[in-house]
Amino acid sequence: MSKKALNISFIIILFAIVLISALSGCRLFYETGPDQIILHRVKITRVIDGDTAYVRFADGSEEKVRFIGVDAPEINHPTLGKEEFGPEAEVYTRTRIEGKTIWLEYDRGERDQYDRLLAYLWLEIPEEISDQEIRAKMFNAQLLIEGYAVQVIFEPNVKYVNYFSAYEAEARENNKGLWGLEE
């Protein structure tokens, strides 16, 4: 086989791999963090509320992402309407992450019953998985620490459940955010 034919074959094979990956929903653009966690680099394109946003992947596709382990008060729920502290949680999320590049980490269940992608949002790639790194770099944790959300547990996505329990208790003890509201 000639060198030119080999180059053409290589290009065709590479194109086929990329095409098959794209059509199967596979994302080729990721980084490996500590403990071999896979982090997908995305840009937050639009914040929906305190715990949901749209992201754009490197391949140009967009997805609605629900933040794992947290539940912020609603701002426009079909039956609940606008809950107390919902607008504040939405503004906090918007000012912290909208338009920013972040990294998504998935847990065991990738989607919820509404077909939203489920993820932990890392503001920076962590150097290790520790309390200090999670507090400083994971947005889900910061929502709990600052009292903009409560912890919610949906099996099988429980990787950081013990950390999140401690962060919610800390916010409650310090009357942070929604925990400081009058009864």
Instruction: Indicate the pTM of the whole model.
Output: 0.81
Please count the other Cβ atoms lying within 10 Å of the Cβ belonging to residue 36: 6
How far is the CA of 110 from the CAs of 74, 120, 132, in angstroms?
22, 11, 26
| Per-residue burial over 113-136, b = 16 or more CB atoms within 10 Å of its CB, e = otherwise | eeebbbbbbbbebbeebeeebbbe
Tell me which of 77 and 28 has the higher pLDDT: 77
The pLDDT mean for the chain works out to 88
Q: To the nearest whole percent, how much of the chain has pLDDT over 70?
A: 83
DSSP-assigned letter for residue 34: G
Contact 161, 153 (CB under 8 A): yes
pLDDT tens profile 18-59: 555 444 444 445 677 777 799 999 999 999 999 999 999 999
Range in 35-39, 54-58, 120-124, 164-168 the model is least confident about: 35-39
